[in-house]
Every structure is written in structure tokens, then in C-alpha cells.
Structure 1
């Protein structure tokens, strides 16, 4: 393409977002890497990044420094960012490709054709998703063949109370297991079933006058609603090599390789272990915050907030690799 006017020919949101970063008048000015500070949070995980303007092109040293910090701290909190959706996409793609789920495995915001938008409105608005209720600790897209590597969530509007997000350090949760439990779960495969298929099933049950079902564990007597993709219960982080306990706390699941009753009891014990306060950091959002979290090493949850107040955040998820 010969000039920036050709952006009108593009239909992909990422392509449209990235084209303006190219210029015919030489390189755009890059933010000075020395302006950026990374301060660890005194808690279970996380670090705060200050001095960075996510609207600007970033120096390679900065991106490498941020990637190293994410491997160490698992979540990064960028303060006071004012970004358009395009700018959020541009900044996010420094860290990887956009997550593109399979069209036959629905995720949050999937349309009737199976496509999910590149930028998802996590909001209790007519064009948003997740409403205003509590969300239990989970890893995003864990039920897909290739879960996302991480996400960046940008705070646009916030309620006066509630809507806080907690992240859980499932690497430390694994390290703190006793050696007998570690040996028992090493090599086991675990299935997380698609919660969106359960939502569809419950809507059908409601139409038939039946109560909704929210099972946490699939026993042999319960029908499977859709395909299940086994992943290691003890996952190896693809970049750091750290071991993590790759287990959401409430999503319907099934552990393979053990008798059903024993497997269900073991999963319940591991879930209780993960939810201990010592593994949790609770983030109280401020306008302009971006939180970038490693979906391969953390779970996250949300507290409820008043349905009469708006909470609008924009999320970009990044492509991951097959868990091993």
C-alpha cells in the first residue's frame, strides 16, 4: 500500500490498527525506555508499571523488559492509560498475536458464526458481556484446544463500589503442594468443559420449566454437552518452564486416569487449596488501568457490583500454544 489513505481498504481490525504505525516520513518517535519503572506488588503476585505511555511506539528494550517482568510477576498493572480500541490492539500485539478461537468452540462474545471480536467489551452494557455478577476463579479459554496465553484489560468506566478483580498465583499453589500430591497428579490429564455450552443447556432447561444446572465436576452419570480437550493438570509454562496447577475452581471438569470418586475428591481438594488468600492479589480498579495477565500461570475472578451502575472494560486476548 502506498499511503495511509489505503486504510479504508482494510477490513481486519488488527490491520486497521497497525497501519497508522507506518509512516512515509521516517520512523515515529519511540518512548525512552529509561522513563519506565516496574515496581513489584507486595503480595502473591504482580507488578506496577509507571512512566509508560501505551499510545507511543515502544523501544525493543522496553518490550523485552516487560516480557521478563510478566514471566516473573504474572500480572503487570499499567497506570493512567487513555487508549482507543485501535491503540489497545497496537500495544497488545507487542506481546503476541491476537487469540482466534476455533469457530466450533464458543468463547465469550462468539457470534453465531463462531467468530469472537479482537476487542471484547467486558461490560454490563447492551453491547457488553459478563453482566454485573460475581465471576469465580478461572483461566480464560481453558476449554479450547489451544487456550489463550494472556489478556490485557483496560478500564474505561467503573462503578462506585465492587467490580474488583483478583488474580491467583497457581504456580506458587503448585509449589506448596506436598510431595505425595505432586507425585500423584504428575502426568494426569484434565478436561475443562465449555461453560458456554452449559449456558445454552440451561436456557433450554429454563424454557422447559426445569432448574438450571451448574455442576463443578462431571461424573459418569452426567451427559457431556460438547467436546472436551484434555490438558495437563500440572502444566509447564512454555516460556519460563515453571510448573502450574492448571485448574479453574468452579468450571465443570473431569480428571482422567483415576477412579471417578477418587478423582472428584482430589479435584475438590486442589480447588480449595488454590483459593487460599495467600495466593491472591485483589486489584481495585482505577480509570485508565490496564492489567496484563499471564493466563498460563494465573486464575482470575471478579466481585459483583450494582446493576444500576456501568462498568466498562475492553479486553484483548493473545494467542497461546498447546499446553504441555
Structure 2
């Protein structure tokens, strides 16, 4: 097994790994360290099933059930296990087999609307349309985004927290039973000091209906818009062009991701599993923590 860093702000390709087999402990420790070091790992050409995907995910921690699992019977048809999220535009007898369709999915981190947020997230490309159909996925390094913040935004980030909205999903649609303006979401610090790496990252969650706690709406929107504009610059990102059998896993605690739209005439199926993370926490000495190694090159490239 080899770990080859990608020439981007995050990511590494894992070569020589067969996910249909149990990963030896020594190899898994190497894999897990690479996950912490590079934020995202890519394994190409895997012919795996849901059991293999769940076995891989469970090595990273406790599995986290999709929050929409209780809704699946009402508007989805799928034979996937409960711990698997099906991401697809395919319909059977007029009902979707999964979620998110074929439109654009905006920048977000998964399960930021929970007290304990998502940790490792893994996606398997079960059925991937041709590259020209679209549907690439972007990932952004939030360690680098924090460490390059302008001084005024950095000060706000180190002092404030965001109330995370529970009413809207990543398609900007109201969740089942939710009402606008009636969110009971958690308050998380804008800066998360990673529980394993000890480095700081921005933790923004998603933009729609979120607000900086304790600030007037206008001031909150101005600051959040500025943080999002900064955090999603191309220099912090990796764009993944999917191939059949790709497995991509990433650390949801220190990244954002989004998907571009794709040709609605093309069938696209991905299966996902999620591991429980932890509650975001800003360390008392967050203001003086050094950059994460994968953010250092971005920081050093920033003009003085």
C-alpha cells in the first residue's frame, strides 16, 4: 500500500489497497494517519458492496445513521442497509431510490446541525455517468481557510459561534416537518480545534439560514458572507472527477464539499456511510496554534 499526495490543497491517493478484504492493522494505522494528514483519501477501481463499505467505515469509528432514514419509506425506495445513504437521481416506479437528485448541491459539511457532528464520510461510486455529464465533487481545506483569514475575520472567528439551522437540507429545501425560522439547531464555535490533530479549522456548516450567535442579522450576514467567500476560494480546493468504483473518504470536521449538477438523462448512483465525529470545540489557546501541515504550503504562499 502506498499513499501519494495529490497536488492540491488536500487529498492523497491510496494505491495497492483492496477494500473487499480486511485491512491488516498495520496498514489501517497507516491509512488512518494519512486521513488525518491529508483530510481526504481516494481509492480507485474498487468492486465492493455495501457490507465492504460499512466494514471500512466502522474501522474509523461508530457508524452514524442518516438523519433522513425515518423519511425513506415515505418518498424513497431502496434495499440498501439503514446505515447507507443512497445519493442518486434514479427513480423506480416514479419514486427516487436516493436523495439529492441531479441538481447542484451547495457547499456544506455533513450533520453540522447536530450537537455531535459527522466525522469520517465515505462515498462509493456505484454507477458513474461519463465525465462530460458533469457531477464532479469539490472539497475544501478548512485548516487552510482559517490560517489565511484576514485579521478582522480571524478575530471574529476566534470569538464567535454560529447557530446552525436544522430546517433546510443541502438542496436548500425544507426538511420534512420543518418550518422556516423555527430552527432549534446547536451553537458551534466558528473555529474548531481538531480533537486529533490539534490544529484549527473553520467550521461553517452551511450558509442558508445560519447566523452568528448574538449579532444583529445584518452584521451576521455580512460577516458570514465574507467568511464563505474566503473559505471557498479555488486555492483551498480539490475537484474530484468520478470514475466507476472510486471510493473517496474525508474528514468532515475540517472540510467542506459540494457537487456540481449533472445531465438528468444520465443515471448516477453513489453509496455513502458516515462515522460519528465529536462536538466542535475551540481550544483556549486556539489563537496561537500552528497550521496543520497540509495547510502550511497554502499559508506560506499567501502574500504578506
Q: How would you bin the TM-score normalised by the shorter chain?
A: 0.7 to 0.9
Match of 2:128 in 1: 158
Task: Measure how far apart 1:226 and its partner are.
Answer: 2.7
1:303 aligns with 2:260: yes
How much has 1:117 moved relative to structure 2? 2.4
Deviation string, structure 1 residues 256-275 (Cα, Å, up to 9, x no partner): 13333222211110011011
Q: Secondary structure at the match of 1:45?
A: coil
Which residue in 2 is equivalent to 1:235?
Answer: 192
Q: Which residue of 2 aligns with 1:271?
A: 228
What is the match of residue 218 of structure 1?
none
Provide closer, same or farther for how the CA distance between residues 120 and 233 of structure 1 changes in structure 2, counting only shifts above 3 A: same
Q: 1:251 is matched with which residue?
A: 208
TM-score (structure 2 length as normaliser): 0.82
2:45 and 2:246 in contact (8 A); partners too? yes
Count of aligned pairs: 266
Counterpart contact for 1:47–1:75, Cα < 8 Å: yes
1: CA distance, partners of 2:263 / 2:177: 24
**SS state of the match for residue 36, structure 2?**
helix
Aligned counterparts of 2:162 and 2:51: Cα–Cα separation in 1: 37
Q: Which runs of 5+ in 2 are unaligned?
A: 75-80, 91-95, 282-304
Q: Deviations over 1:133-180 (max 9, x none)?
A: 011110011111211102110001112221110101111000001333
Q: Structure 1 196/249 Cα, relative in aligned 2: closer, same or farther at 3 Å?
A: closer
Could you say which residue in structure 1 is the equivalent of 2:173?
Answer: 199
Paired residue for 1:92? Answer: 57
- C-alpha separation in 1, matches of 2:45 and 2:147: 34
- Shift in Å, 1:42: 0.2
- Provide the C-alpha distance between the structure 1 equivalents of 2:174 and 2:189, rounded to a whole number of angstroms: 27
Say whether residues 1:44 and 2:9 are aligned partners. Answer: yes
Q: Indicate the SS of the match to 1:142.
A: coil
Contact 1:138 1:251 (C-alpha < 8 Å) held by counterparts:
no
Deviation at 1:185? 2.1
Residue of structure 2 equivalent to 1:136: 106
Residue 111 of structure 1, CA deviation: 2.4
Contact 2:153 2:223 in 1 (8 A): no
The Cα offsets for residues 68-125 of structure 1, whole Å up to 9 and x where unpaired, read as 1111110000111111111111111111110146xxxxx34442799x9201111112
1:210 maps to what in 2? Answer: none
**Match of 2:139?**
167
Larger radius of gyration between Structure 1 and Structure 2: 1
- Name the residue aligned to 2:44: 79
1:111 aligns with 2:71: yes
Question: 2:85: which partner in 1?
Answer: 120
Judge conservation of contact 2:121–2:252 (CA < 8 Å) in 1: yes
| TM-score for both structures, normalised by structure 1 | 0.77
2:246 corresponds to which of 274, 289, 298: 289
Unaligned runs of 5+ in 1: 1-35, 102-106, 206-222
